[in-house]
């Protein structure tokens, strides 16, 4: 029996999350009733509603609707959540959204794309390559892909001769990717992050090593990444940004060339006898995804780019890509640090990340609900002081940051709005 035959009414806790909303959309597309809740209205809650879901906004209900037989929740939701308590009392099956993927995976040939940075972009690139070869994958990605009707989800078909392809972006937070036992894993890179979960860099490497050992066929690793080189096993296959040769991409940066090379390596392994032309055309035509070097529009004649980068290495790499792509233009950076713990763990690294920005605005840190403790008191004001940036500005909140940008921005500037919190809203309002 298929996993999809095991439930009829799914309840989504945190239905507006990029991962949970994809689960809700997938369930609706497969004829399930979907209800759920979230604290705020968002593009994703609206998308689920438009497809026929029933979403409550605001306070979580104290009791689940009648008929719910599966609860799926974001791993960011605390175990004390009233919905989860209600489900437990009623003996209703509850799954984290990656546990949902783990159950669903039994009906598919699974490819997992993971790593500290670049996994959303690489997942989207790989999806486009698979589509170009007619492989018709089902894809869950942690972003929104332009041209996909469901945005963060693409639904393919199970092939007549066997299992269809299920391509999943594997999130390393709380070791969620370990819910999967993929046939193929692609690891873009490994860096110290989520240290509240892993403890230190060696713990992060160990987490990815475990995923490599759970992979049944082959693991692709970026040989230019020093920490990925620490992985061991007889299933490892290396790739490099240099493998692309003279192939031109529309998205800038050496990191995107590495992402594309990883995607092409997987497709080459899957379809050794296929014509490579369609693969290269798919990569050459790839224009990016939501909040990954996304050109949002213009403000006062300046180009506005929104980017999700929130780790020091990713910030530096993205600024370098902007400098290379727009060599003669002034770069204005608005950065909203994500989580107090991450800011504390990488304080020195963050302080050295902004040198390529001509103007720097640091907004106050985005505190994730349930993930900030009373001892985590660091401020963006302290971080700004540590940067010694000659043109640095502190903003108490995003409203202040936006007001500063309206004064600072000049025609022909490049404004880079960066961070994993709410900072993207500033980019949208400006354009």
* CATH number for the domain harbouring residue 185: 3.40.1190.10
In 3D, which of 66, 51, 165 has the Cα closest to residue 107? 165
Does any domain span residue 185? yes
**Does residue 265 sit in the same domain as residue 304?**
no
| Position 289 in a domain | no
Beta strand ranges found along 66-132 (DSSP E): 70-73, 93-96, 108-114
Considering the domain architecture, whether residues 302 and 368 belong to the same structural domain is answered as yes
Q: So what's the pLDDT on residue 160?
A: 47
Q: How many structural domains are present in the chain?
A: 3
191, 336: one domain: no
Q: Looking at the structure, do residues 231 and 378 belong to the same domain, yes or no? A: no
* Integer angstrom CA distances of residue 78 from 96, 196, 212, 245: 11, 15, 29, 47
13 shares its domain with 146: no
Q: Who contacts 223 (Cβ-Cβ below 8 Å, separation ≥6)?
A: 229, 238, 239, 240
**Degrees, nearest 5: CA angle 300-306-308:** 160
What's the chain's length in residues? 431
pLDDT at 374: 56
What per-residue confidence (pLDDT) applies to 270? Answer: 93
- CA–CA separation, 58 and 296 (whole Å): 29
Which secondary-structure segment (H or E) carries 9? strand 9-13
Residue 96 located in a structural domain:
no
The domain that contains 76 carries what CATH number? 3.40.50.720
Look at residue 77 in the predicted model and tell me its pLDDT.
Answer: 83
Nearest-10 crossing angle of helices 254-270, 312-325? 100
Same domain as 121, residue 255: yes
Residue 306 corresponds to which tokens in the numbers above? 């929104």
CB-based contact 238:156 (threshold 8 Å): no
Q: What is the extent of the structural domain holding 362?
A: 294-430
Q: Which pLDDT value is given to residue 282?
A: 95
Tell me whether residue 1 is in a domain.
no
| Cα–Cα–Cα angle for 35, 36, 38, rounded to 5 degrees | 150
Asked whether residue 380 is assigned to any structural domain, the reply reads yes
Last residue of a domain, one of 91, 113, 137: 91
User: What pLDDT, in 10s, does the model give residues 318-353?
Assistant: 999 999 999 999 999 999 999 999 999 999 999 999
| Residue 120 and residue 269 in one domain | yes
Asked if residue 260 and residue 118 are part of one domain, the reply reads yes
The answer on 41 and 105 residing in a single domain is: no
CATH number, position 354: 3.90.190.20
Residue 216 inside a domain? The answer is: yes
Collect the ranges in the chain with pLDDT lower than 50.
160
User: Which pLDDT does position 376 carry in this prediction?
Assistant: 72
Please say which residue of 73, 91, 109 terminates a domain.
Answer: 91
Is the whole model's pTM more than 0.75, yes or no? yes
Instruction: Give the strands of the sheet with 153-154, arranged side by side.
Output: 153-154, 138-140, 164-170, 108-114, 184-187, 218-222, 236-239
Same domain, 340 and 261: no
Core vs surface per residue 308-340: b (16+ CB within 10 A) or e? bbbbbbbbbbbbebbbeebeebbbbbbbbbbbb
CA dist., res. 263 & res. 186, Å (int): 8
Residue 369, Cβ neighbours under 10 Å: how many?
A: 9
DSSP structure string for 354-403: -TT-SEEEEEPPBPPTTS--TT----HHHHHHHHT-TTEEEESSHHHHHH
Q: At a CB cut-off of 8 Å and minimum separation 6, what does 158 contact?
A: 107, 108, 164
Helices marked H in 90-118:
97-104
Q: What is the pLDDT of residue 298?
A: 97
Residues 258 and 149 in one domain: yes
Give the residue from 57, 91, 125 where a domain finishes. 91
Tell me: do 51 and 85 sit in the same domain.
yes
Gap between the Cα atoms of 218 and 404, Å rounded: 50
* Closest to 118 (Cα-Cα) out of 136, 141, 147: 141
Is residue 71 in some structural domain?
yes
Please check whether residue 373 lies inside any domain of the structure: yes
């Amino acid at each position: 029996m298929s996993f999809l035959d095991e439930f009829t009414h799914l309840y989504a806790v945190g239905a507006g999350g990029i991962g949970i909303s994809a689960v809700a959309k997938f369930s609706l597309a497969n004829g399930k009733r979907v209800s759920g809740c979230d604290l705020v209205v968002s593009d994703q809650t609206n998308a689920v509603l438009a497809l026929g879901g029933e979403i409550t906004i605001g306070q979580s209900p104290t009791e689940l609707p009648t008929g719910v037989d599966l609860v799926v929740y974001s791993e960011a939701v605390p175990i004390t959540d009233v919905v989860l308590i209600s489900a437990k009392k009623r003996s209703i099956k509850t799954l984290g959204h990656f546990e949902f993927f783990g159950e669903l995976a039994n009906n598919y040939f699974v490819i997992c794309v993971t790593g500290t940075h670049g996994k959303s972009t690489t997942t989207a690139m790989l999806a486009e390559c698979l589509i170009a070869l007619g492989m018709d994958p089902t894809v869950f990605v942690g972003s929104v892909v332009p041209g996909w009707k469901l945005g963060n989800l693409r639904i393919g078909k199970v092939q007549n001769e066997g299992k269809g392809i299920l391509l999943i972006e594997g999130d390393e937070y709380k070791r969620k990717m370990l819910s999967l036992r993929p046939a193929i894993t692609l690891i873009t890179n490994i860096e110290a992050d989520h240290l509240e979960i892993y403890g230190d860099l060696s713990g992060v490497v160990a987490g990815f090593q475990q995923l490599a050992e759970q992979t049944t066929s082959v693991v692709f690793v970026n040989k230019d990444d020093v920490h990925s080189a620490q992985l061991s096993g007889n299933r490892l296959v290396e790739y490099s940004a240099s493998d692309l040769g003279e192939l031109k991409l529309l998205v800038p940066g050496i990191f995107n060339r590495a992402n594309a090379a990883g995607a092409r390596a997987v497709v080459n392994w899957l379809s050794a006898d296929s014509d490579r032309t369609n693969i290269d055309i798919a990569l050459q035509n790839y224009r990016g995804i939501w909040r990954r070097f996304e050109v949002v529009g213009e403000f006062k004649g300046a180009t506005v780019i929104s980017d999700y980068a929130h780790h020091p290495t990713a910030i530096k790499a993205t600024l370098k890509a902007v400098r290379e792509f727009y060599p003669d233009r002034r770069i204005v950076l608005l950065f909203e640090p994500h989580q107090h713990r991450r800011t504390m763990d990488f304080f020195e690294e963050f302080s050295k990340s902004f040198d390529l920005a001509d103007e720097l605005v640091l907004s106050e840190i985005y505190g994730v609900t349930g993930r900030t403790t009373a001892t985590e008191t660091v401020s963006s004001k302290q971080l700004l002081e540590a940067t010694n940036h000659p043109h640095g500005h502190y903003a108490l909140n995003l409203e202040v940051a936006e007001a500063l940008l309206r004064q600072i921005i000049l025609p022909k500037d490049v404004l880079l709005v960066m961070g994993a919190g709410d900072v993207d809203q500033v980019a949208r309002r400006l354009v």
